[in-house]
Every structure is written in structure tokens, then in C-alpha cells.
Amino acid sequence: MTDIVKKQMYTFEDAGGESITLRPEGTAPVVRAFVEHALDRESGITKWYYLGPMFRYERPQKGRYRQFSQWGIEVLGTENPAVDAEVIEILIVLLKKLDLPESSLHLNSVGCLNCRPTYTAALQEARPQQAGEMCADCRERIERNPLRVLDCKVEADQPIIEALPAINDYLCENCRTHFEGVQKYLRLSDISWTIDKRTGCADWTTTPRRHSRWCWADWGPQNSVAGGGRYDRLVEDLGGKPTKAIGFALGMDRLVMVLPEKDREQTGIRVFVAAMSEAAFDYAYSKVQLAFRRAGIPAELDYQRRSLKAAMRQADKRDVQW
């Protein structure tokens, strides 16, 4: 059970006594829709995206809110590593267009049901002597789900976690081949990356991912703007036919925080037009629509037809340039 399910779900009864749970992420709803509409029974690849509000009951921190906006991409129906690279490239192209500073792609594998148990056992066997000094979450995770320890963001725990075994030494042949294939197609796309033995960046599905796991890192302990990877068993777990799938999610709130300052400036209305007569109003209306807005210049017209002094006062309140 993930921390999202265990600790962060908003579940309550509505006025009619129905149990309501607010969605904490987008992948599981996409998969449920995929199964509900029997798309798992059709051949071919399905490519979807989503954008909307999500809800998690967690301690608010930098870039994380209990209601937040998330954008995601999902591809269902193939395990071709070229698709992994294609999905990653979508994210990279977006972030490059936004001039995200000092960012990097971190890539990893979390294995599959064949090789992950061996690695889990190795983590438990290598349980550090300092485990009792780690955060409360890690002390619990190291017993029930050691892989989740690698997701810890507590700064004091990092040296202990870095000393743990790396999963790449425990991958089965299929997972190793897939992971190498992802890297091959990233090279063909001229995309650079860093191999990171840590699983991760974000935990936004209910099933551990197989093969590649990756994130776009940017700052501090809470350093991921976006994260993604494979969830090859989730469709089956939710009642559908076995379907390979991959996707990523991007936190819009966190993305805004790390954008260059010039891109975060709230320009607002640049031109405010006040007309002093009926004829002038009609002329002003056409200029606002044609000369300013269609040219991409944010403009506003004084529809209330106030005095010039009142209109200028309103323009000042809105910090209008012209």
C-alpha cells in the first residue's frame, strides 16, 4: 500500500451518506476509464492526456498543496522502449520551451515481479545500523516495503540511503534489456540523462512500476517537477486485460515556482482604454479588439463609462502600463 493510499486520501461522507474519495492522482482514473470503456480489448496503442485538480491530505510544503493541479500523459498498449523515450521527450520539449533552469533527467529501473523481490530482500539484509535514527516513515517502510525507503526526501537520511545496494545490480535479463533499450532511444533523440539508483521522484500509482522510472529534477530535497515510468500491471489489477503502459505526471503549481522569473511575472492588462463619448466608445471598442488583443497585447476597455479621473484611478489600481 502506498503512502498516498494510506495517509493522503481525502475520504468522507457526503450529505446523502455516500462515501466520497477525492482523486489524489490521474493515472488510476485514466486506467479505470480505459477498462470501463473496454479499450483494453481493442488492439493498438491508446495515447491520452489529462489536466485537472487533485487532492492529497499531506503536510503543505514548498510547491505542494492539498489541492493542486496536475497534467499527465499516458500511453497504453505497448512495452516498446522507444515509446518510453517518446513519452520522456514530450516532457523534455515542454520544459525546454519554458527555459527551465539547471534541470536534468534522472533515469532508473525498479525491475519487475521477477527481480524486484530479490532486490527487496537485499535491501532488508543490508538494513543499516542507523535505521533507528531515520525518520518515522523510513523506520516503518524498511519493514513493510523497503523500496519506498529510497523515495525518502528527509535530508538527514540521505547518506544512509546512498549506502544501500543499487537495483541495477539485481535486474533480470528482460528488465536489463528494456532499460538499455530506453537509453538507446534517448541517445537517438539526443537526450542526455543521469542514471540514478534511487527509485524516485513521485509516487502516483497504486502499483510499483516496472522497468524505467524517471524524473525531471530541479531543486532541493523536494526536487522533482515531474515524474513517470511504467505501470505494466495496473490495468490488470483494476480488472482489465494485461496491458503494458507508461506515463508521467507534472505538478503545475511546482512548475510555476521554478520557472524563470521573467516567465512568472504577472503582466496583467498592459493597455486600459477610456472613451469620453458614445462615438469614441465604438471606436475604442474596435481598437481594443483589433489593434491590441489580436496582436497579443492584453487590453481592457472601461465599460462602465466613468469619468476620466475615475477611469485613470482604476487603471492605476491594476498597474496598467498604458
DSSP result, 72-87: EEEEES---HHHHHHH
Confidence of residue 306 (pLDDT cuts 50, 70, 90): confident
CA atoms within 13 A on the CB side of 310: 8
CA dist 75 and 49 (Å) reads: 9
Buried b (16+ CB within 10 A) or exposed e, 87-102: bbeebbebbeebebee
CA dist 287 and 291 (Å) reads: 5
CATH of domain 266-317: 3.40.50.800
Could you give the percent of the chain with pLDDT greater than 90? 38
Fold held by 3-126+165-263? BirA Bifunctional Protein; domain 2 (3.30.930)
Tell me the average pLDDT of the chain.
83
- Sign (positive or negative) of CA dihedral 160, 163, 167, 168: positive
Residue 10 cell numbers, joined: 481525502
Query: In this predicted model, which residue has the larger pLDDT, 200 or 164?
Result: 164
Residues 6+ apart with CB under 8 A from 69: 51, 52, 53, 54, 251, 252, 253
CA atoms within 13 A on the CB side of 243: 27
Question: Where in the chain are the domains?
Answer: 3-126+165-263, 266-317
pTM for this entry: 0.74
CA dist 311 and 318 (Å) reads: 11
The predicted model gives 144-153 an average pLDDT of 80
